Amino acid sequence: MPAGSSETTGNDAARQLLRHTVATVAYRGGKVLRGVPPGFATFSIGPGTRMPIAILAHINDLFDWACHLAEGRHVWHSSSPGDWDAEVTRFHAGLARFDERLADGQPLGNTPDALFQGPVADALTHIGQLALLRRCAGGPVRAENYFKASIATGRVGSDQPPSNVEFD
């Protein structure tokens, strides 16, 4: 089946892996978004680069798009960033909507592979950018052994568990 074609049969293993990936986005993203240094939302490393608030709004737009793609519609909307706290709330709400859609068992409008390679992989890239920008802004995120992290499929809210193994 081509990557972007409609899913007509269940692909439970791929959907479960995609759901776990969304939980990973919530965990890693949550860690980067919590406790940011003052002024971080509008921190800039130079002309022509996105500020963290714009990157976060884009991540949120990606999960809005993912929800549309899961319904078989290619709808993209670039939103104007809100304030930091509102965008963080939107981040977890978007992940929850997408995860609920993946969990509902109804056929997907696009394959799990396509949903991963588009919006989900792009979001992971941007979470890495935010982590780098935090370091540049003087508020680095502590390194962690993510293999040992308590990431659970379906846990996509801001209530992520503390890190199990962090290091400097």
**Domains, the chain, with CATH or none:** 12-36+44-167 (1.20.120)
Instruction: Please write the tens of the pLDDT for every residue from 51-110.
Output: 999 999 999 999 999 999 999 999 999 999 999 999 999 999 999 999 999 999 999 999
- 127, pLDDT greater than 70: yes
CB 143 within 8 A of CB 167: yes
Smallest CA-to-CA distance from 120 within 109, 132, 129, 112 is with 112
Q: Apex CA 63: angle with CA 136 and CA 160, to 5°?
A: 65
